[in-house]
């Protein structure tokens, strides 16, 4: 059983604060690492696909880094806004299956 | 450009009945994945299908659950003789081999 862990489980930040959270995954059988944003009552929305060690991707105020050798990825949000409130999921991709973490629930307080 | 579509969005069944969940992938996608989200848990992989083929069903319960993705039409996840423990949200995702795009899910409630 592949273990994908995300921390923290939940996070409350003030509007304007920057924040980051972690996804830990096995260092073997790696094909790709995916980040999703999942708002309540909606479906997960793809943010990033990361494949290479050292990759860094950016989309507006959100960015992510990848370290496949030590098995972790960080997601950063700069200047959090209330609309960033959501659960952020990472998924470890073996090329055949996605293994999802349980997510980090972010609440941005106005 | 329609996204992944799932229907029904909500399904209520009594114990012992059958549940059929449908998933239409995004146009041009030939890979479909089914996931289950049990209450208070994350997304768990169930099955990966391509047209007319089951590629990986290692996450499917051994009994009562089956999935297909025919040459024409949507992918179907079928649960026979449902039990209360089957109550969950079932998501499908389709892939262009780069990332997976999720449907809105079907919320199954077994009474």
Chain B CB contacts of A42 under 8 Å are: 104
Please state, in angstroms and rounded to a whole number, the distance separating the CA atoms of residues B62 and A42: 29
Q: B103: which chain A residues are within 8 Å (Cβ-Cβ)?
A: 43
Which pLDDT score, from 0 to 100, does residue A2 have? 75
* CA–CA dist A24, A104 (Å, integer): 12
Cβ <8 Å between B105 and A98: no
Chain B CA closest to residue A34? B99
Contact B48 A43 (CB under 8 A): no
Question: Is the per-residue pLDDT at B97 higher than 80?
Answer: no
Kindly report, residue by residue over A50-70, the tens digit of the pLDDT.
Answer: 999 999 999 999 999 999 999
> What pLDDT does A84 receive?
96
Residue B15 has pLDDT above 60, yes or no: yes
Interface of B with A (CB under 8 A): 4, 33, 35, 41-45, 48, 55-56, 58-59, 91, 98-105
Instruction: Report the percentage of chain B scoring pLDDT > 70.
Output: 98
pLDDT exceeds cutoff 90 at A14: yes
| Average pLDDT over all residues of chain A | 93
Q: How far, in Å, CA of B47 to CA of B56, rounded?
A: 6
The four Cα atoms A91, B38, A9, A20 give a dihedral, to 10 degrees, of 30
Q: Kindly identify which residue of chain B lies nearest to residue A6, measuring between CA atoms.
A: B42
pLDDT at A105 over 60: yes
Q: How far apart are CA B111 and CA B103, in angstroms?
A: 24
3-class state of residue A73 by DSSP: strand
pLDDT value at A46 more than 70: yes
Q: Which residue of B has its CA nearest to A47?
A: B99
Query: What's the pLDDT tens digit per position in A66-100?
Result: 999 999 999 999 999 999 999 999 999 988 788 89
Average the pLDDT over A13-23 and give the result: 96
Average pLDDT over residues B55-65: 93
Confidence of residue B39 (pLDDT cuts 50, 70, 90): confident
User: Which chain A positions have a beta carbon within 8 Å of B56's beta carbon?
Assistant: 96-97
Closest CA to A49 of A102, A106, A95: A95
For position A98, what pLDDT does the model report?
87
DSSP A79: S
């Amino acid at each position: 059983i592949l273990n994908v862990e995300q921390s923290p489980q939940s996070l409350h930040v003030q509007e304007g604060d920057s924040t980051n959270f972690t996804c830990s995954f096995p260092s073997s059988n790696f094909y790709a690492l995916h980040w999703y944003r999942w708002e309540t009552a909606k479906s997960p929305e793809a943010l990033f696909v990361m494949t290479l060690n050292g990759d860094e991707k950016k989309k507006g105020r959100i960015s992510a880094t990848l370290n496949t050798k030590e098995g972790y990825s960080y997601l950063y949000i700069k200047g959090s806004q209330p609309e960033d409130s959501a659960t952020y999921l990472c998924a470890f991709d073996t090329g055949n299956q996605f293994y999802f973490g349980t997510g980090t629930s972010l609440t941005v307080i106005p | 450009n329609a996204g992944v579509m799932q229907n029904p969005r909500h399904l209520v069944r009594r114990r012992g009945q059958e549940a059929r969940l449908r998933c239409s992938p995004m146009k041009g996608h030939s890979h479909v994945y089914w996931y289950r989200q049990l209450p208070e848990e994350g997304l768990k992989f169930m099955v990966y299908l391509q047209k007319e083929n089951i590629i990986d069903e290692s996450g499917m319960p051994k009994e009562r659950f089956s999935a297909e993705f025919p040459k024409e039409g949507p992918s179907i996840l079928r649960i026979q003789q449902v039990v209360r423990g089957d109550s969950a949200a079932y998501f499908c995702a389709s892939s262009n081999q780069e990332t997976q795009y999720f449907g809105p899910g079907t919320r199954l409630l077994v009474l």
